[in-house]
């Protein structure tokens, strides 16, 4: 795997695909700068070598050129994080951009305008990729969040740097962390899959059954399994058309000696709202008019035992509706168990939008071995797919 360490960037211009798709408030201020901070080590290394940096990213899903999606809104924050005054050019291709790139001196940073202002970016257009490639000497991909997209700036551009293309530090870390779970894991390995739907996790479950010893299933998808097993789930969320599939997954797991752990009790509510009436009930005896919105105390005890005996832990998806305070306990406690196991030497990897939001919200992020920056990209890697953005560098 070719990384930053393999190149001395002295007097070289590095074109870096970063993922600066960060949330902005109504005044266009950056609300969460995690993704910008995550790219800093890569940028620092290149500048320290005596090179210069051309940053390219997308922001949001613009339809053509839209002021609110301009990357100019993040220039000040990026300058502050990097400790370098970031230059900005109001386009990402064309004469003005070429001039700005050509005039860039060692130690300087140039940020290009939103790549998705051009439909050619998402179309993976050759000509567009070639124009971006012409701006620098080395191509660095450090955007895990978009590595599963075969876009011009994530995949096609790499063809123009046959010898000079490398993974940035963030992307290299993401690949190593996932490899640690999927290929080089220390046993016992436990995967915790939560969230509302079985359908969105099917391929992940099928791919990881060969790699894990324990699979904890939580969140809304619990009820598809419980109903398939003949339980009463009241008004809980359920994918009726996936019940047969749930039974197949249980049978496959048994065949492969994987222990599946489903909740045994839940916090049930008489409405989908924070101030609903609640009670603890057995997961397969939820009364009509009630729905399971969080894991119950006995379930958490069971999960704790499994997690504290694990050496490798993958967490994707919450155990309950953690956005509502009264149904956040299961997700918080799960995070605490994983943090405790990590402290005792287990390797823990957290990924997928909701789990990442949860560990950040509850202050658990520093207690995990690694928190992934790419939801969709991580899911596809867990499904066993080779991501186009990664294949392009390895090629």
Catalytic residue (one of 353, 360, 367, 384): 353
Catalytic residue (one of 35, 165, 211, 227): 35
Is 13 assigned to a binding site?
A: no
Is 351 assigned to a binding site?
A: no
Is 355 assigned to a binding site?
A: yes
Distance between CA atoms of 13 and 4, rounded to whole angstroms?
13
Is 59 assigned to a binding site?
A: yes
Q: Is 64 a catalytic residue?
A: no
214 bridge partner residues:
190, 259
Catalytic residue (one of 180, 197, 298, 385): 197
What are residue 286's phi and psi, to 5 degrees?
Answer: -80, 125
Distance between CA atoms of 64 and 74, rounded to whole angstroms?
19
Do residues 349 and 181 touch, judged by C-beta distance below 8 A?
Answer: yes
**DSSP structure string for 16-65:** EE------B-TT--BS--HHHHHHHHHHHHHHHHT-EEEEE---S--SSS
DSSP state of 392: H
For 204-225, give one letter per residue: b (16+ CB within 10 A) or e: bbeebbebbbbbbbbbbbbbbb
Is 116 assigned to a binding site?
A: yes
Is 17 assigned to a binding site?
A: no
Q: Is 35 a catalytic residue?
A: yes
Is 352 assigned to a binding site?
A: yes
Do residues 169 and 42 touch, judged by C-beta distance below 8 A?
Answer: yes
Distance between CA atoms of 327 and 38, rounded to whole angstroms?
31
Is 35 assigned to a binding site?
A: yes
Exposed / middle / buried, residue 61 (Cβ in 10 Å: 0-12, 13-18, 19+): exposed
Helix count and strand count (H, E) for the chain:
14, 17
Q: Is 230 a catalytic residue?
A: no
Q: Is 124 a catalytic residue?
A: no
Torsion angle defined by CA atoms of residues 225, 231, 236 and 239, in that order, rounded to the nearest 10 degrees:
40
Catalytic residue (one of 180, 252, 360, 376): 376
Crossing angle of helices 34-49 and 169-182, rounded to 10°: 120
Do residues 165 and 12 touch, judged by C-beta distance below 8 A?
Answer: no
Is 201 assigned to a binding site?
A: yes
Is 60 assigned to a binding site?
A: yes
For 64-88, give one letter per residue: b (16+ CB within 10 A) or e: eeeeebbbebbeebbbebbebebbb
Length of the chain: 395
**Residue numbering of the annotated binding site for (2R)-3-phosphoglycerate:** 35, 116, 149
User: Which residues are marked as active site?
Assistant: 35, 197, 353, 376
**Residue numbering of the annotated binding site for ATP:** 201, 292, 323, 352-355
**Residue numbering of the annotated binding site for substrate:** 19-21, 35, 58-61, 116, 149
**Residue numbering of the annotated binding site:** 19-21, 35, 58-61, 116, 149, 201, 292, 323, 352-355
């Amino acid at each position: 795997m070719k990384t930053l360490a393999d190149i001395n960037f002295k007097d070289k211009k590095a074109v870096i695909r970063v993922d600066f798709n960060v949330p902005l408030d109504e005044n266009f201020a950056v609300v969460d700068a995690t993704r910008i901070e995550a790219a800093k080590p890569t940028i620092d290394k290149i500048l320290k070598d005596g090179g210069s940096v051309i940053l390219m990213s997308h922001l949001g899903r613009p339809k053509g050129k839209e002021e609110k999606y301009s990357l100019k809104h993040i220039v000040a924050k990026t300058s502050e994080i990097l400790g370098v005054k970031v230059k900005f050019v109001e386009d990402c291709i064309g004469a003005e951009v070429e001039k700005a790139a050509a005039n860039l001196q060692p130690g300087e940073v140039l940020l290009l305008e939103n790549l998705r202002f051009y439909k050619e970016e998402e179309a993976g257009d050759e000509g567009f990729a070639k124009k971006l490639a012409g701006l620098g000497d080395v191509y660095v991909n450090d955007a895990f969040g978009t590595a599963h997209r075969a876009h011009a700036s994530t995949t096609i551009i790499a063809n123009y740097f046959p010898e000079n293309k490398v993974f940035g530090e963030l992307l290299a870390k993401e690949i190593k962390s996932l490899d640690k779970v999927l290929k080089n894991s220390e046993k016992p390995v436990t995967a915790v899959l939560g969230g509302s739907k079985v359908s969105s996790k099917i391929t992940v479950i099928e791919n990881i059954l060969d790699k894990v010893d324990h699979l904890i299933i939580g969140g809304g998808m619990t009820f598809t399994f419980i109903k398939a097993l003949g339980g009463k789930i009241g008004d809980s969320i359920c994918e009726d058309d996936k019940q047969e599939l749930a039974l197949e997954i249980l049978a496959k797991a048994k065949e492969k000696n994987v222990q599946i752990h489903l909740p045994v009790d839940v916090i049930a509510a008489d409405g989908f709202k924070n101030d609903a009436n609640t009670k603890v009930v057995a997961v397969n005896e939820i009364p009509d008019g009630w729905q399971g919105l969080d894991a119950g105390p006995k379930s958490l005890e069971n999960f704790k035992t499994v997690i504290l005996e694990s050496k490798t832990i993958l967490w994707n998806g919450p155990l309950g509706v953690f956005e509502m305070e009264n149904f956040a306990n299961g997700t918080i406690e799960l995070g605490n168990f994983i943090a405790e196991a990590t402290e005792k030497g287990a390797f823990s990897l957290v990924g997928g939008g909701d789990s990442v939001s949860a560990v950040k919200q509850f202050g658990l992020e520093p207690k995990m071995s690694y928190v992934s920056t790419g939801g969709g990209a991580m899911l596809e890697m867990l499904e066993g797919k080779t991501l186009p953005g990664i294949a392009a560098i390895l090629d």
